[in-house]
Amino acid sequence: MATLTVDDVTLLGPGCGEQACGETGDGRMLEPEEIVEDLIAFLQPKHLAGKKVLITAGPTFEAIDPVRGITNLSSGKMGFAVARAAREAGAEVTLVCGPVSQPTPRGVTRIDVTGALEMHAAVMVRAAAQDVFVGVAAVADYRPQAAAEHKIKKDGSAAPTITLVQNPDILAEVAALPNPPLCVGFAAESQNLAEYAQKKRLAKKIPLIVGNLIQHGFGGEDNTLVLFDETGQTPLQPGPKSELARTLVSHIARQLDRR
């Protein structure tokens, strides 16, 4: 293995888990799905070789009581696709994700969080050391000021009053760092996509924002994306989120080259 590595041969595995001999540890063949994922990654252009990329994905869950909360319909699929594409492009990828059921892309460091404050803390402690930050997560704009200690019961009295406070703007704070990474945002809208996406890009002072209408992308395997930057808008061909993510990563790499 050492000789093959010196000869620039890429080795897949070994995998880790239960062995035929009854022991547990390194030595298994990778699962077929893992081999396919590694082969696809090997064949992708390494646009981000040597770069560090931090990505957020999924929704956040803002607790009202121990069983209820404010959240949204984000599945995390687009963010996970971007993480996989960045890793395929040679980057060292860290993925901070809200409560989702997506499997972790191979070679990606995953950090699970629940609420916006947790996501904010996980991002801000790492952001300054990154080359790229991509905020794909659908972070709740507001959270309850205080979560109830116990489940709120319906006892026939008036509905409870829930006071909301604003969550931190993670993307804007990363963009405002003294030496920020290249910041890319996402804007999921139900109407007026171009107007709202460009407005969001300018307000957060970021070079690139990726827009989509929620009826085209939430929860599904495909999406329809439009890239918005200082030159205007660039619609991408509708397709699988995996392919769109690779196109986006190539665009990000070109942006990095121009910095």
pLDDT in tens, 82-118: 999 999 999 999 999 999 999 999 999 999 999 999 9
Q: Annotated catalytic residue: which of 16, 21, 97, 183? A: 21
Query: Does residue 33 form part of some domain?
Result: no
DSSP 14: -
Residues of the domain holding 166: 46-148+159-258
The answer to whether residue 21 is catalytic is yes
Residue 180 sits in a domain whose CATH number is 3.40.50.10300
Query: Does residue 24 form part of some domain?
Result: no
Which two tokens mark 234? 């660039």
Query: Does residue 194 form part of some domain?
Result: yes
- Count of the separate structural domains present in the chain: 1
Interval 10-55: pLDDT, tens? 888 888 888 888 888 888 888 898 999 899 999 999 999 999 999 9
Query: Does residue 6 form part of some domain?
Result: no
Q: Examine the pLDDT at 215 and tell me if it is beyond 80.
A: no
Residues 164, 244: Cα–Cα separation, whole Å:
35
Query: Does residue 34 form part of some domain?
Result: no
Query: Does residue 29 form part of some domain?
Result: no
* Residue 40: closest CA among 240, 180, 254: 240
Secondary structure class of 176 (helix, strand, coil): coil
Q: What is the pTM of this model?
A: 0.90
Q: Examine the pLDDT at 216 and tell me if it is beyond 70.
A: no
Q: Examine the pLDDT at 4 and tell me if it is beyond 90.
A: yes
